[in-house]
Amino acid sequence: MHILKRPEAEVEALAQALIEAKKQIGLCKECFHLSAEPVCEICRNLNRDNTALCVVADSRDVIALEKTREFKGKYHVLGGVISPIDGIGPEQLTVQALVRRVSQQKPEEVILAISPSVEGETTTLYVGQLLKPFTKVTRIAFGLPVGGDLEYADEVTLARALEGRRELD
């Protein structure tokens, strides 16, 4: 409603700004997080811990976890979760790139930080089984409500979820 009340010139400027932003923002070639550069700021940061890799569904989850200031490693963004009803299988996600990355870089731990929905659980179990031959695989603790999204959780809940992660069976 607010936009409808604004002058047409303002609405056109906003629309143009959104188009330009969409043209300039792409995906990091290493972790698939949103980035205006070929490699995102997190992947370029030499102070990040290369021994820990946190796997999330999308870039909003990276932003939410970064707000906690608890995780010092790197990320991998899947680009969604497995959802057969929506026609999303592992092939539509960056799962194979993740397996290649883990098999080549050999991090000490991969943390699966995927929201605990039915689709999230499916994705967690699938990805966990693929990565187990290469490294220790853990998942964040369930301080998050089932069906909740990481981006809506507060920093304390996310921090506790990271601290309470456990290895997949």
pLDDT by residue (tens digit) across 73-124? 999 999 999 999 999 999 999 999 999 999 999 999 999 999 888 899 899 9
The mean pLDDT value for 44-71 works out to 96
Helix (H) or strand (E) holding 5: helix 2-5
Residue 18 has pLDDT above 90, yes or no: no
Q: What CATH number is given for 39-167 in this structure?
A: 3.40.1360.10
Residue 164 has pLDDT above 70, yes or no: yes
With cut-offs at 50, 70 and 90, classify the pLDDT of residue 55. Answer: very high
pLDDT of residue 151: 83
26-27 and 34-35 strand pairing: antiparallel
Instruction: Locate the domains of the chain by residue range.
Output: 39-167
Order of strands across the sheet with 49-56?
73-77, 49-56, 109-112, 136-139, 166-167
Least confident segment among 44-48, 120-124, 137-141, 154-158: 154-158
With cut-offs at 50, 70 and 90, classify the pLDDT of residue 144. Answer: low
